[in-house]
Structure 1
Amino acid sequence: MHKVLIILLVVCNYGILNAQKPTTENDTTKIEKKNFIKSVIEYFEKSNEVNNDKRFDFSIIGGPHYSSDTKFGIGMVASGLYRMDRTDLSISPSNVSLYGDITTTGAFVVGISGNTLFPKLNYRIDADMYFSYRPTRFWGVGYEAGRQDHYSEYDNLVMELKFDFLKKMATNTYLGFTTNVKNVRGKGFDDISLLGSEKAKTTAVGAGLILSYDSRDFIPNPYKGIYAKAEQIFYPKFIGSSYNYYTTELVFRHYRQVWEGGILAFDLQGVLNWGNVAWNMMADTGSSRQMRGYYRGRYRDKNLIQSQIELRQHVYRRSGAVIWAGAGNVFPKFSEFEWSHTLPTFGIGYRWEFKKRVNVRLDYGIGKSESAFYFNINEAF
């Protein structure tokens, strides 16, 4: 069964994976097809083997997916593991993930993210950058706007780069700075009146501080540990932002083994914006990591609090499954927070160990009157 799944996932990667001896002109098509399938299976059967002799352990996989908003698409993800100090195996390896996706609606995204851990964990660099184009929808700002059936379709182009540099201050404790540059452009609105006096194109250039505690044993797929972060970013107009505002992000995550092969993961996040926040820079629900099952951006406002708990269970060989439940709430300010506006999310997912402790994940999330599929790499949180 798992061999059939592997073939379906990687059939689009022939040029990369068919690294074998060249055939002669007399080889038959039947033999070529047999060799291709065999090479694919052998490649992925060995892809999760630990090889500390490699300076950079890199693998790639791709496959089809479907979601209610982007329809059918083809995604490709790649994962690389490396060590700044190859003699110290007590520290988890650094990681980098590259991803790309294109769908039948014309939407596409390309990006790269990763965590570089320096010797003795004295420093670390976290980076995430991507460019995307997506035909999407805008309901307006606030919970009540998202509840309505009326929305405007438009094309959304996003370019974002986030870079964190952290220095170890004590055991598992880091202090550092962060920079974030984001450019969002909306065009082709069906109903531009939903924007009111807002600009369709917005730029945010910001810098700030991060204080974090991180005892996770492996960042892409923790089995145990705690991750907590307090981040403050300022986006002033004098360095290029369209508006003056600032963002506070608070995160708490906890991981523990509950039985053999079972990991219970908890996530709590708050995103709080202050000042003059553009409509396309507000906190919103719906992504492949949090509030899975919701159309991205349907519910948006200045502030967002969201939480989820997920059970991750190893099933057989390289296969696993997850179930999760969570909730989120968008609101303009704390004095206007309404418990009745809380949105639920729950779902199930399949995991396949692509590399050692690096999973390809297929998730089906269910929200309030909507749902979505996701194809991605690494755990959601």
Structure 2
Amino acid sequence: MGADNDYILLGDWRYLNSSQPTWGLGTGPQSARLADNNFGFDDGSIDGNSEADMLEFQFFRFYETYLRKVGNKGFYAGVGLHIDLFNNFNDQLLDLDADPPVITPFYAYNEKYGFDQNKSTLVGLSLNGVLDTRDNVNNPYTGRYAMANFKINPEFLGSEKSSTQLWLEYRDYFNFTPDHRNILALWTYANLTVSGDLPYMNVPAIGWDQYSKSGEPYAQGRFRGQNLIFGGVEFRKHLLATKKNPSFFGAVVFANATTASGKGNGIDLFEYIEPGYGLGLRVNISQKARTNIGIDYGWGNYQTTGFFLRLNENF
């Protein structure tokens, strides 16, 4: 933020030479299938525990949003530029020479919606509004945060296909004691495809938020769909103080839920809801900045478990 909090710069810059599993669109049992020897994904699925299920890729992202303060109530409005470039896809489970061919969700999606199998480009401009009354961005005790982002991805800017997207987000914090030792924190967002079709890796997916913190205990991209809604709650409890640091040690318990639609396979929002839950420990390393080191462990559907090490709170 600028002097006197009069403007906000929101940046998301990434370069990845990485890999992650590809999954079917929408929440529900069909999303557990990594690949299939039937194009319709109806039967013959490959074991979901296969270690050869990765989609390899190179990824460059440049997101930058400028918001200016409007009035004195914590409201900001502004515009943004968003560039996503994916290259050198290597879909490891795909085997078109098998009899019958082994088709992955990534390949099937690209064939259905007419996207390149080797690369994708999405370039957009956004209109943004933010309400931020939190007392601290690292570990809020009071206040709330809300954001609306409408993104336009036209072909003339370089997108493979024209599309529009809408992001709606809300966070709130409730104190049960005056010393902020017991806090209930809420987070929800909706990532919606308003019009057009997006490249597979830009279809709304869990864990692809700005700081990749949504969806514990699931892996990034585990649930993906044209429309996705996530909601989470955490109870944060202070446990132990030291003479120099009254906020030294604490714990959290959390629960969340994700639902995603699949336009191509007839799955609607809220038709399937995937839960996540777990607990964690917090060690405060800077009382002034409220910076915590966190360790979380969580459980979810499909025998999913996850261990997470983080800096600062999830939200």
Question: Normalising by the residue count of structure 2, what TM-score does the alignment of the two structures yield?
Answer: 0.78
Higher relative contact order (CA 8 A, sep 6+): 2
For residues 279-313 of structure 1, the C-alpha deviation after alignment (integer angstroms, 9 at most, x for no partner) is 11111124651111112212211110010010112
Deviation at 1:374, TM superposition (A): 1.4
Aligned equivalent of 2:7 = 123
Q: Which has the larger radius of gyration?
A: 1
Deviation at 1:212, TM superposition (A): 1.4
Structure 1 residue 187 corresponds to structure 2 residue 89: yes
SS at match of 2:31: helix
Structure 1 residue 160 corresponds to structure 2 residue 93: no
1:359·1:377 contact (CA, 8 Å) conserved in 2?
yes
Aligned equivalent of 1:289 = 213
CA separation of 1:232/1:338 partners in 2, compared to 1, >3 Å: closer, same or farther? closer
Deviation at 1:338, TM superposition (A): 4.9
Unaligned runs of 5+ in 2: 35-45, 95-102, 242-247
**Structure 2 matches for 1:96-107, cutoff 5 A?**
none
**Structure 2 matches for 1:1-381, cutoff 5 A?**
117-143=1-27, 144-148=29-33, 150=46, 152-170=53-71, 171-185=73-87, 187-192=89-94, 193-194=103-104, 195-196=107-108, 197=111, 198-199=115-116, 200-259=118-177, 260=179, 261-273=181-193, 274-286=195-207, 288-317=212-241, 318-332=248-262, 336-356=267-287, 357-368=290-301, 369-381=303-315
For residues 138-169 of structure 1, the C-alpha deviation after alignment (integer angstroms, 9 at most, x for no partner) is 12333354132636422132221221211111
Task: Write the letter of the residue equivalent to 2:285.
Answer: F
1:245·1:275 contact (CA, 8 Å) conserved in 2?
yes
Deviation at 1:226, TM superposition (A): 1.0
For residues 351-378 of structure 1, the C-alpha deviation after alignment (integer angstroms, 9 at most, x for no partner) is 1222230112222122212011112212
2:69·2:75 contact (CA, 8 Å) conserved in 1?
yes
Deviation at 1:379, TM superposition (A): 1.2
1:154·1:186 contact (CA, 8 Å) conserved in 2?
no
The structure with the greater share of residues assigned to strand is: 1
Unaligned runs of 5+ in 1: 1-116
Task: Write the letter of the residue equivalent to 1:281.
Answer: N
CA separation of 1:213/1:338 partners in 2, compared to 1, >3 Å: closer, same or farther? closer
Instruction: Give the number of aligned pairs.
Output: 264
Query: Superposition RMSD on alpha carbons, in Å?
Result: 2.0
Task: State the distance in 1 between where 2:223 and 2:191 align.
Answer: 14
Question: Normalising by the residue count of structure 1, what TM-score does the alignment of the two structures yield?
Answer: 0.65
SS at match of 2:176: strand
Deviation at 1:190, TM superposition (A): 2.4
For residues 303-361 of structure 1, the C-alpha deviation after alignment (integer angstroms, 9 at most, x for no partner) is 1001001011222132221111110100146x952534100011111112222301122
